[in-house]
Amino acid sequence: MVSIAVNRGRENVAMLGIGAYRPQRLVSNDEVCEVLDSTDEWIYERTGIRNRRWVSGDETLRSIAAAAGERALRNSGIDRSKIGALILATSSWLKLTPHGAPSVASDIGMNGIAAFDLTSGCGGFGYGLGVAADMIRAGSAEYVLLIGAETMTVGLDPTDRGTAMIFGDGAGAVVVGPSEENGISPTVWGSDGEHADAIMQDIDFLEYMHRAQAMQGLDPATDPVGRMSLRMEGQQVFRWAAVTLPRALSTALELSDVAKEDIDVFIPHQANARISELMKKNLGLADEIPMANDIENTGNTSAASIPLAMEEMLVTGKAKGGQTALLLGFGAGLSYAGQVVTLPPAPEEPSF
């Protein structure tokens, strides 16, 4: 009989360090409205957004993901040689092949480790956190670097009132590893593919290729190639969120065996300030519980949104390491993922 060596998993897992990267370019509502038919007041009233960050110069998804991951490593104090896997949660990596995580791992001096992309829209960080924690509990890795990174503006139609004012770019990362006390509850997650078209890429790659051929005169009846863009039915998403997410939050509390009165901080995906307020109210969280509002100056950064919001709260003192936080990501799919977590220490190397 062959003897198989098995890594021993760890029952208790936590986020040990956090890092982030915010692109240099700050874009105001007024600048967006130079192209978009809207106003600063209208955008803020309906979304809670005043500014957002857009990549510029030599900033790319690859570079900002690596920068956030590097900061998370340094802030955690964990030697990179102990990292067994890197998960890149993103929906805006520009190629299906090669996927992004191996390149990012190489860029931060960890070439050779297990590295894979996880695409689950705005719920990507929550999905990634669940996968990372379960990998460590199963013994597949001792430590995992989870990075949520997006360059949403690459695929935006600047004239689309449903998306152009909402999305921004950025990256946030956490080191997940064993701890004395458990700091990551079981993940509550789900999806609603019946209504998946509420958030979607407007044309697929095959149709885009056909349109490109038409531009070369091969099929003059086909529409001009244009660009692939993200489209969203905001009201449909809002209605889905209002019904689905409060139940998900309640289930997360039940599975973690934590009462809502024990929650110190609420960090929802930064999709819309109105949705965040509605979730907090429907869940019955106390008014004095701090709630992330990174959307005001960062916008909706999809899979990067929760770690960016978490980092902002820790840096500004709105939250403190060791506190109990309720997380929930949601969006394309339509999908969601949430956990009750213990917050990592405030970063010694913040992103701002």
Strand-pair category, 83-89 with 114-118 = parallel
The residue whose two tokens read 């960090």 is 267
Catalytic residue among 29, 75, 272, 300: 300
CA dist., res. 150 & res. 167, Å (int): 10
| CB 189 within 8 Å of CB 200 | no
- Nearest alpha-carbon partner for 121 in 244, 310, 341, 301: 301
Is residue 195 flagged as an active site residue?
Answer: no
60 burial type by CB count under 10 A (0-12 exposed, 13-18 middle, 19+ buried) = middle
Catalytic residue among 29, 75, 122, 272: 122
Q: How far apart are the first and last CA of the chain?
A: 57
| CB 118 within 8 Å of CB 148 | no
Is residue 33 flagged as an active site residue?
Answer: no
Is residue 269 flagged as an active site residue?
Answer: yes
CA dist., res. 342 & res. 259, Å (int): 14
Catalytic residue among 269, 272, 293, 297: 269
Q: Which residues are tagged catalytic?
A: 122, 269, 300
